[in-house]
C-alpha cells in the first residue's frame, strides 16, 4: 500500500466489530526532543553524550530513537509513532527544490491544520513535499513565511528548525504552553529539550551549574508549581508559552513573544444570543474534528463535569466507538465514577474505570515526581497518572477538557469580584482600615477572610487558583524566607498588560499565564507522556479562544441580576453551557465542577498516609531549605484536627521527594520500561 493510499484509507474503528467508517488523517511528530547548539563545534563525544541523555525521554517516544548532527548542532529525538512510519522520521530534512536539505527539524506535538497549511503553501509558492505528515508543513511554512508561520499553526508544539545556510536555530512553543521546552545556555553553547532531566545530564557539556534557585523555591511553595520561565535549577529556564527564540552559535537566545491574548468583547443582544451560542458550538466542534485526526485509536478522558463530557460527546460524532476513561477513590464525595459512567452511557461510549487505593497512591509518588522534572503540588496529577496508564492499554491518543475554565470563566473564584464589588466603591483609606481591622480578628472567625480580601486590590489578592502558604506560615517553614520575593514577582507584569479590563477577564488572563501553563498543562503533558500516551486538548485551540475571548462578563459569571429568568442564575461558563445544550447530557449541563478530587485531607490525618508522610519528612535531607520540625508540627496539628494543613503539607512533601531524587540522589524511583500494545 502506498503512503498516499494510506492517507485516504477508510477503516472500521475499534477492533472486533463492524463499525462506522473513520477517515484516517496523518500526524507524525509526537516525541521527546533534545538539541545542543555548541559554541566550539560538535565532535563524536558530544554526539554520544546527547544520544545517552535521550534515555531520560524514552517514555515520550518509545517507538523510535536517533540523532543527527553537523558542525554546530546535535539533534536527538525519541518518537511515539502515530503514523507515517516510512517517511516522517526525525530529525527531518527539508528544503526548497534549489536546496532540498537546507533545514533540519525536530518537533514534539501535533499540527491539526497541517492539511490546510500544506494546501496553502502549494497554492501560494508551489511548495513540494516528500511526506504526508505535519512535520514538513512546519518547516516549509517557516521557509516561506518566516517567523509568522507560528501564528498560523493550530496545534500543540515545541519545535526547533536549524537553517544550515544561515547557521541560525529557530525554536518555538505553542500559544498556550501545551508542550514543554526547557532552555539552558552556558559557556559551551545552548541546549534545549522536552524534559529538564536530559539537560541536567548534559550540564557539564553545556557549561552550566546545577545550583537551585531559592526564589523559584519560594514561588513554588506559594503557588504549588514553578512559574514560567523559572525552573528550580537556576541555570535552566523554560521557553515561555507563545514565544519563539533565535540562536546563533556562541550567542544567547533572542526571545520574542508572538502570542499576546486579547479579549475584544462583543456585547450580546436579545436577538444575537442564539447565533453567538451556535458560534461557540461550531468552533468547538471544528476543533474536536481536527483533534480527531489520527490513524490510531483515539479515546477521551471523562470526569463528571461539562468540559470533558462535551469533548467526548463531540468526539463520538467522529468515532462512534469512542472509549472513555475515568478514575476515582473509594471514598464518598471524592469520586465522579458514577456520574462519568452515567455520562458515558448517555452518549453511548464504551467506558473504562480505574479506582486508586491509598497504598497505590503513595507508592507511585516517587516515579511521578521523577517524570514531573519540577515539583507540582497538585494531588490531582496522581489519579491522572493512573488513568493515563490504564488508557494506554487501549489507545495511543486521548482527548481531554483542559482550558475550558480559563477560556469561558469556569472557576468559582471568578465570582469573587462580584461579591467584593461593594468594597470597590469605598475610599482607599477606608479599605486600608478594613484590612487593619481584619488583622485583629482571630483566625477562623466568620467574615475575617472577606474583610481582608475586600481591603486588597485585585493585583494583590489574586494570584491564581492555587493558594497555599501565607507569609507567616512560610516564614515558619522556609529557612531562607525572603518577604520581598512574592507572587507579585510573577503576576505584576501580567496584570500590567490587562489594565482597563473587567476584573474577571483580568483573572482569566492571569490564569492563562500562571495556573494553566504552570499546573494544569504540566500535569496533563507529564502524566500522559509518562505512559507514552498523547493527550490533546481541543478547548485550547486558537479558533476556540477567538470566540471565547469576545464574551462579556455576564456570559461567563452569572447572578440573578444578570440572568434573572435563568433556572440556575448563579453559575460559571454560562455561554458555554448554553452552547452545549443538546450536546451534553442534562445531568451534567449545570453540574458544579469537581474534576478528579483526592481525599488528601482525610488520608494525611488517618492511617492511610500519616505514617508515610512522616517518614518522607523525617528522611528528607533538605534541612537547609525546609524546617522539618515545623513541618512535623503541621502534620500533627492536621492529624489532631487543629487545622487543615493538607495542601501545605503536600506542597512540602512533594518538594522533599523531588529534592531526594534530583539533589540528594537518595531516592531512585523504579522507572519501568514501557510495555504497551503495538497496534492501537
The phi and psi torsions of 154 (rounded to 5 degrees) equal -105, 110
Measured at the CA of 68, the angle between CA 111 and CA 164, to 5 degrees, comes to: 80
H helix intervals, 478-572: 488-496, 503-513, 515, 521-529, 542-548
Q: Which residue is associated with the grid cell 559551551?
A: 188
What distance in Å separates the CA atoms of residue 437 and residue 356, rounded to the nearest whole number? 45
Could you give the dihedral angle defined by the CA atoms of residues 554, 538, 135 and 105, in that order, rounded to the nearest 10 degrees?
60
The phi and psi torsions of 141 (rounded to 5 degrees) equal -60, -40
The count of C-alpha atoms lying within 13 angstroms of the C-alpha of 241, restricted to the half-sphere facing its C-beta, is: 22
**Looking at 31, 53, 247, 478, which residue is catalytic?**
31
Report yes or no: 485 and 452 within 8 Å, Cβ to Cβ: no
Nearest C-alpha neighbor of 294 from the set 122, 172, 155: 155
Q: Which residue is associated with the grid cell 514543554?
A: 180
Nearest C-alpha neighbor of 478 from the set 639, 656, 618: 656
Report yes or no: 216 and 518 within 8 Å, Cβ to Cβ: no
Spell out the SS3 assignment of 228-281: CCCCCECCCEECCCCEEEEECCCCCCEEEECCCCCCCCCCCCCCCHHHHHHHHH
What distance in Å separates the CA atoms of residue 267 and residue 622, rounded to the nearest whole number? 54
Determine whether 630 is exposed, middle or buried from the number of CB atoms within 10 Å of its CB (0-12, 13-18, 19+).
middle
Report yes or no: 507 and 462 within 8 Å, Cβ to Cβ: yes
What distance in Å separates the CA atoms of residue 72 and residue 250, rounded to the nearest whole number? 10
Cell digits of residue 4? 498516499
DSSP state of 626: B
| Residue 31 is a catalytic residue | yes
What distance in Å separates the CA atoms of residue 28 and residue 342, rounded to the nearest whole number? 35
Number of helices (H) and strands (E) in the chain: give both, helices first.
Answer: 30, 19
Catalytic residue positions, numbered: 31
Amino acid at each position: 500500500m502506498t503512503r498516499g493510499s494510506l492517507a485516504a484509507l477508510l477503516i472500521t474503528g475499534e477492533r472486533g466489530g463492524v463499525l462506522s467508517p473513520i477517515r484516517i488523517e496523518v500526524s507524525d511528530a509526537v516525541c521527546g526532543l533534545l538539541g545542543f547548539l555548541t559554541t566550539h563545534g560538535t565532535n563524536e563525544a558530544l554526539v554520544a553524550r546527547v544520544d545517552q541523555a535521550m534515555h531520560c525521554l524514552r517514555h515520550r517516544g518509545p517507538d523510535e530513537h536517533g540523532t543527527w548532527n553537523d558542525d554546530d548542532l546535535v539533534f536527538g529525538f525519541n518518537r511515539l509513532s502515530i503514523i507515517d512510519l516510512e517517511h516522517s522520521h526525525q530529525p527531518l530534512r527539508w528544503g526548497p527544490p534549489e536546496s532540498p536539505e537546507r533545514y533540519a527539524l525536530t518537533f514534539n506535538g501535533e499540527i491539526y491544520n497541517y492539511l490546510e497549511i500544506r494546501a496553502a503553501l502549494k497554492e501560494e509558492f508551489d511548495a513540494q513535499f516528500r511526506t504526508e505528515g505535519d512535520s514538513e508543513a512546519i518547516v516549509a511554512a517557516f521557509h516561506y513565511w518566516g517567523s509568522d508561520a507560528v501564528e498560523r499553526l493550530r496545534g500543540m508544539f515545541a519545535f526547533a528548525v536549524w537553517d544550515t545556510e544561515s547557521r541560525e536555530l529557530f525554536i518555538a512553543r505553542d500559544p498556550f504552553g501545551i508542550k514543554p521546552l526547557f532552555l539552558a545556555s552556558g559557556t559551551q553553547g545552548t541546549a534545549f529539550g522536552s524534559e529538564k532531566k536530559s539537560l541536567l545530564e548534559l550540564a557539564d557539556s553545556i557549561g552550566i551549574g546545577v545550583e537551585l534557585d531559592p526564589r523559584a523555591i519560594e514561588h513554588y511553595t506559594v503557588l504549588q508549581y514553578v512559574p514560567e520561565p523559572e525552573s528550580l535549577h537556576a541555570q535552566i529556564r523554560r521557553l515561555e508559552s507563545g514565544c519563539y527564540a533565535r540562536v546563533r552559535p556562541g550567542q544567547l537566545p533572542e526571545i520574542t513573544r508572538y502570542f499576546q491574548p486579547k479579549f475584544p468583547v462583543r456585547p450580546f443582544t436579545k436577538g444575537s444570543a442564539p447565533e453567538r451560542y451556535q458560534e461557540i458550538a461550531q468552533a468547538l466542534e471544528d476543533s474536536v474534528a481536527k483533534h480527531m485526526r489520527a490513524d490510531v485509536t483515539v479515546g477521551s478522558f471523562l470526569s463528571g463535569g461539562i468540559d470533558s463530557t462535551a469533548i467526548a460527546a463531540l468526539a463520538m460524532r467522529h468515532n462512534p466507538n469512542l472509549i472513555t476513561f475515568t478514575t476515582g477513590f473509594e471514598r464518598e464525595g471524592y469520586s465522579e465514577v458514577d456520574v462519568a459512567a452515567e455520562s458515558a452511557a448517555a452518549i453511548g461510549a464504551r467506558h473504562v474505570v480505574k479506582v486508586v487505593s491509598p497504598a497505590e497512591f503513595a507508592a507511585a509518588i516517587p516515579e511521578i515526581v521523577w517524570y514531573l522534572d519540577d515539583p507540582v503540588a497538585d494531588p490531582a496529577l496522581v489519579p491522572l497518572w493512573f488513568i493515563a496508564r490504564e488508557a494506554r492499554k487501549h489507545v495511543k491518543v486521548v482527548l481531554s477538557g483542559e482550558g475550558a475554565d480559563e477560556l469561558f470563566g469556569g472557576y468559582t473564584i471568578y465570582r469573587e469580584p462580584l461579591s467584593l464589588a461593594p468594597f470597590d466603591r469605598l475610599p482607599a483609606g477606608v479599605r486600608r482600615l478594613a484590612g487593619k481591622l481584619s488583622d485583629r480578628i482571630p483566625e477562623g472567625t466568620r467574615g475575617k477572610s472577606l474583610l481582608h480580601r475586600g481591603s486588597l486590590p485585585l493585583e494583590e489578592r489574586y494570584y491564581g487558583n492555587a493558594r497555599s502558604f501565607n507569609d507567616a506560615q512560610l516564614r515558619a517553614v522556609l529557612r531562607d524566607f525572603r518577604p520581598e520575593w512574592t507572587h507579585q514577582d510573577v503576576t505584576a507584569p501580567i496584570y500590567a498588560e490587562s489594565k482597563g479590563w473587567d476584573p474577571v477577564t483580568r483573572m482569566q488572563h492571569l490564569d492563562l499565564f500562571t495556573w494553566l501553563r504552570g499546573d494544569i498543562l504540566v500535569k496533563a503533558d507529564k502524566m500522559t507522556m509518562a505512559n507514552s500516551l498523547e493527550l490533546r486538548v481541543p478547548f485550547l485551540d486558537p479558533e476556540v479562544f477567538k470566540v471565547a475571548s469576545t464574551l462579556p462578563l455576564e456570559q461567563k459569571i452569572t447572578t440573578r441580576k444578570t440572568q434573572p429568568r435563568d433556572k440556575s442564575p448563579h453559575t460559571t461558563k454560562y455561554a458555554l453551557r448554553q452552547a452545549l445544550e443538546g450536546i451534553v447530557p442534562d445531568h451534567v449541563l449545570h453540574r458544579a465542577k469537581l474534576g478528579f478530587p483526592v481525599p488528601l485531607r482525610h488520608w494525611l490525618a488517618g492511617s492511610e498516609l500519616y505514617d508515610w508522610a512522616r517518614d518522607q519528612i523525617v528522611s528528607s535531607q533538605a534541612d537547609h531549605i525546609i524546617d522539618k520540625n515545623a513541618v512535623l508540627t503541621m502534620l500533627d496539628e492536621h492529624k489532631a484536627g487543629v487545622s487543615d494543613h493538607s495542601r501545605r503539607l503536600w506542597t512540602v512533601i512533594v518538594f522533599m521527594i523531588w529534592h531526594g531524587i534530583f539533589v540528594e540522589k537518595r531516592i531512585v524511583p523504579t522507572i519501568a520500561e514501557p510495555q504497551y500494545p503495538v497496534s492501537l
